Amino acid sequence: MIEFSAAEIAELTSGTLSAGTEPTLTIDVATIATDSRDAVPGGMYVAKAGEQADGHDYVAAAFAAGSVLALAEREVAANDAGTPFPAVIVADAVRAMGTLAAEVVRRIRAHSPLTVIGITGSAGKTTTKDLLFGILSQHGATVAPIGSYNGEVGVPLTVFSADEDTRFLIIEMGATKVGQIKYLSDMVHPDLGVVLCVGSAHAGEFGSIENIAAAKGELAEALPPRGRALLNYDDGRVRAMAARSAAPVTFFSSADAPETGLPDTAGGPRFLQARNVRTNADGQPEFDLAFPGREDTLPVGSKLLGLHHVTNLLAAASAAHEVGIAPEDIVASLNQQRPASRHRMERTDRSDGVTVINDAYNANPESMRAALRTLAELGGSGARRTWAVLGEMLELGEDSVLEHDAVGRVAVRLNISRLLVIGDGARAMHVGAVMEGSWGEESMFLPDADAAYQLLTAELAPGDIVLFKSSNGSGLRFLGDRIALPTGIGPAATSDTTFGERTAQP
């Protein structure tokens, strides 16, 4: 348990106490909530402007649920007389959360050994985090993000769930602009930094893929000389980050890459490599894993779905190996872990023989192609009919139409049986498929998820495999959940209201 008094919070955040707030009032950081629905007795509620609402409007609800202190940007009256709720008033509630999180990390390090592991990349962060948690939690008290908490709010919330006995702290780091990963790194001071890939997702926000690479590389730059950068050798932009890090480097790779011509790094680079990479009949990756300094290999047979997960498996293995976990223990854990987070290549085999793959938590051009390749492999060269139900990839900027068009063409080249394109923002996928040579009803454009639901419930047949893939904001994960039910009939899809940060950053 790590506690702060109201006076300590005010001092750390350069805040002031609202009238009548008791300076000795103490809260446990594990009780800090940014959503009034998550408020607990004796806790602190952070009032901030969220995507859907102003948190100050929910201070009363948080106190009704048991909160005893607020971290707010202005006073909120508790009664008609104007008496304010007990609060620490700060200029920026989100930045104040970060300051408190930094102090929590400092206190834990002062109390006991702590290894902080940062993970970033345009795709695969959450899966890698889940895999690494599965390994490390067997060897010490481990804290990892809930869901995909990875931004300026999510990282502090993850830190607040740690205590003085935490041995491993896994931090998922997302960003929407240059400088954000540096901010998160300055908050938690990672010992290890994992960079998975640099993709074109959210290029519209960053301005260019070069800016995305610059942002992801901030994690490598933040590592101390005593730390280690764990970099994906197979992504050239990530590989180049070795030159930006003062820490020694371990490369992980699924290619037969020679250990020559690599960037000079302190102590020389290590290599962790997947050899003989393949998928089994169920589309699950298998390979032989070679650890640094070890001549023999260990067989990995993952229960995840899709060849693209090899990168995530290697990244988790690299981090676990770096903190001293035995290779045999790492492989044993990787081989038994199943998907831990929803809507990420989530497979459901219905009782009527239809297979549903719900991968609609997030999407970018690279992950779209990877998911389509997995679908094609599962189809077995026409042995099973394949359906790709695709929605919009958000925040691609000026290249959005071209990127959607290209995905539609890929679906045709992979001989996907049926392509359903949902929503105006994704229409270019259908146009691309038609221009590539799709005919008849192989590719269809549908205006919304309800139309797709009606078509799928009418036409899906035993043996069919249907993939749902879109950006989170496009909402196809809800359609996938409905279709995954045994009869394909379920409650109407609903959208989740976000207060504070419920969604992830890329």
Q: Which two tokens stand for residue 64?
A: 């009704």
pLDDT at residue 203, as a whole number: 57
φ, ψ at 321 (rounded to 5°): -65, -40
> Are residue 197 and residue 316 in the same domain, yes or no?
yes
Residue 417 has pLDDT above 60, yes or no: yes
Residue 362 has pLDDT above 60, yes or no: yes
pLDDT at residue 53, as a whole number: 86
> Are residue 271 and residue 160 in the same domain, yes or no?
yes
Q: pLDDT band for 293, please (50, 70, 90 cuts).
A: confident
Q: What is the mean pLDDT of residues 452-466?
A: 95
> Are residue 437 and residue 374 in the same domain, yes or no?
yes
Q: Assess if residue 373 is contained within a domain.
A: yes
Residue 397 CB-half CA count within 13 A: 11
Residue 500 has pLDDT above 90, yes or no: no
Query: What average pLDDT does the chain have?
Result: 90
Beta strands in 75-190 (DSSP E): 87-89, 115-120, 142-143, 168-172
Residue 499 has pLDDT above 70, yes or no: no
Q: Is 189 exposed, middle or buried (0-12, 13-18, 19+ CB in 10 A)?
A: middle
> Are residue 279 and residue 201 in the same domain, yes or no?
yes
- Residue written as tokens 């239809």? 354
pLDDT at residue 23, as a whole number: 97
Q: What is the DSSP letter of 502?
A: -
Residue 497 has pLDDT above 50, yes or no: no
pLDDT at residue 496, as a whole number: 30
**Which DSSP helix (H) or strand (E) runs through 97?**
helix 93-111
Pick the closest to residue 34 from 7, 1, 62 (CA basis): 62
Give start and end residues of each alpha helix (H) in 380-426. Answer: 400-413
**Alpha carbons 22 and 147: distance in angstroms, whole number:** 35
pLDDT at residue 205, as a whole number: 67
Beta-strand pair 228-232/297-301: unpaired
pLDDT at residue 202, as a whole number: 56
> Are residue 255 and residue 299 in the same domain, yes or no?
yes
**Which DSSP helix (H) or strand (E) runs through 133?**
helix 125-136
Task: Give me the helix-helix angle, 427-436 and 400-413, nearest 10°.
Answer: 50
> Are residue 202 and residue 142 in the same domain, yes or no?
yes
Residue 492 has pLDDT above 50, yes or no: no
pLDDT tens-place string over residues 249-285: 999 999 865 443 444 444 568 999 999 999 998 999 9
Residue 466 has pLDDT above 70, yes or no: yes
Give start and end residues of each alpha helix (H) in 149-288. Answer: 154-160, 180-188, 203-206, 209-222, 236-239
Q: Assess if residue 499 is contained within a domain.
A: no
Q: Which of 300, 318, 336 is the last residue of a domain?
A: 336
> Are residue 102 and residue 136 in the same domain, yes or no?
yes
pLDDT at residue 80, as a whole number: 87
> Are residue 145 and residue 249 in the same domain, yes or no?
yes
> Are residue 199 and residue 249 in the same domain, yes or no?
yes
Cβ-contact 224, 191 below 8 angstroms: yes
Q: What percent of the chain has pLDDT above 70? A: 92
pLDDT tens-place string over residues 146-186: 877 899 999 999 999 999 999 999 999 998 889 999 999 99
pLDDT at residue 490, as a whole number: 41
Q: pLDDT band for 98, please (50, 70, 90 cuts).
A: very high
Q: Assess if residue 341 is contained within a domain.
A: no
- Residue written as tokens 């950081």? 29
Q: Assess if residue 299 is contained within a domain.
A: yes
Across 271-275, 399-403, 466-470, 497-501, least confident range: 497-501
| Domain range enclosing 458 | 346-484
Give one word for 261, left, alpha or beta, with left for phi > 0 and alpha for psi -120 to 50: left
